[in-house]
Amino acid sequence: MSHRKPRTLAVLATLLLAAGAVHAADKLRWKVPNAFPSHLPALGDNVQLVADMLKGASDGQIQFKIFEPGNLVPPLELSDAVRDKTIDAGYTWLGYDAGKIPAAPLFSARPFGMEPWEYTSWWYEGGGRQLAEDVYGKRGIHPILCGITGPETAGWFRKEIKSMADLKGLKMRFAGLGGEVMQKAGASVTLLPGSEIFQALEKGAIDATEFAMPAVDQKLGFDKVAKFNYFPGWHQTYTAFHLIINKQVWDGLQPSSRALFDTACTAGVLRNLSKGEAIQGEVIRGFEAKGVTAQKVPPAMLKELKKISADVMAEQSARDDDFKRVYDSQEAFAKSYQIWKGLAYLPRDFDEQQ
pLDDT digits (tens, 9 = 90+) for 287-314: 999 999 999 999 999 999 999 999 999 9
In this prediction, what percent of the chain has a pLDDT beyond 90?
Answer: 87
Q: What is the pLDDT of residues 133-159, one digit of tens each?
A: 999 999 999 999 999 999 999 999 999
Q: What is the pLDDT of residue 176?
A: 87
Q: What is the mean pLDDT of the chain?
A: 91
pLDDT grade, residue 25 (50/70/90)?
confident
Say how far residue 272 (Cα) sits from the centre of its chain: 10
pLDDT of residue 3 exceeding 60, the answer is no
pLDDT grade, residue 346 (50/70/90)?
confident
pLDDT grade, residue 349 (50/70/90)?
low
Q: What is the pLDDT of residues 39-91, one digit of tens each?
A: 999 999 999 999 999 999 999 999 999 999 999 999 999 999 999 999 999 99
The count of C-alpha atoms lying within 13 angstroms of the C-alpha of 278, restricted to the half-sphere facing its C-beta, is 8
Domain 26-151+237-278 CATH assignment equals 3.40.30.10: no
Q: What is the pLDDT of residues 193-203, one digit of tens each?
A: 888 999 999 99
Q: What is the pLDDT of residue 2?
A: 44
- Domain 155-236+291-339: state its class: alpha beta
CB–CB of 177/312 below 8 Å? yes
The residues, any chain, with a CB within 8 Å of residue 3's CB and separated by 6 or more, are none
In this structure, what is the dihedral angle of CA atoms 32, 34, 39, 45, given to the nearest 10 degrees? -70
CB–CB of 93/108 below 8 Å? yes
What stretches of the chain show up as alpha helix (H) in DSSP? 4-23, 46-57, 78-83, 104-108, 116-125, 128-137, 176-184, 194-203, 214-217, 222-225, 247-251, 255-278, 280-285, 299-319, 321-344, 350-353
Q: What is the pLDDT of residue 22?
A: 44
List the chain domain ranges.
26-151+237-278, 155-236+291-339
Q: Is the pTM of this model over 0.75?
A: yes
The count of other CB atoms within 10 Å of the CB of residue 289 is 7
* DSSP label of 227: -
Asked whether this chain's domains 26-151+237-278 and 155-236+291-339 adopt the same fold, the reply is yes
The residues, any chain, with a CB within 8 Å of residue 259's CB and separated by 6 or more, are none
Q: Tell me: cis bond preceding 151? Omega within 30 of 0 counts.
A: no
Q: What is the pLDDT of residue 1?
A: 43
Cα–Cα–Cα angle for 106, 111, 113, rounded to 5 degrees: 70
Comparing 13 with 78, which gets the higher pLDDT?
78
Q: What is the pLDDT of residue 258?
A: 97
Q: What is the pLDDT of residues 216-247, one digit of tens each?
A: 999 999 999 999 999 999 999 999 999 999 99
pLDDT of residue 353 exceeding 70, the answer is no
The residues, any chain, with a CB within 8 Å of residue 50's CB and separated by 6 or more, are 91, 146, 147, 243, 264, 265, 267, 268
Q: What is the pLDDT of residue 197?
A: 93
pLDDT of residue 161 exceeding 70, the answer is yes
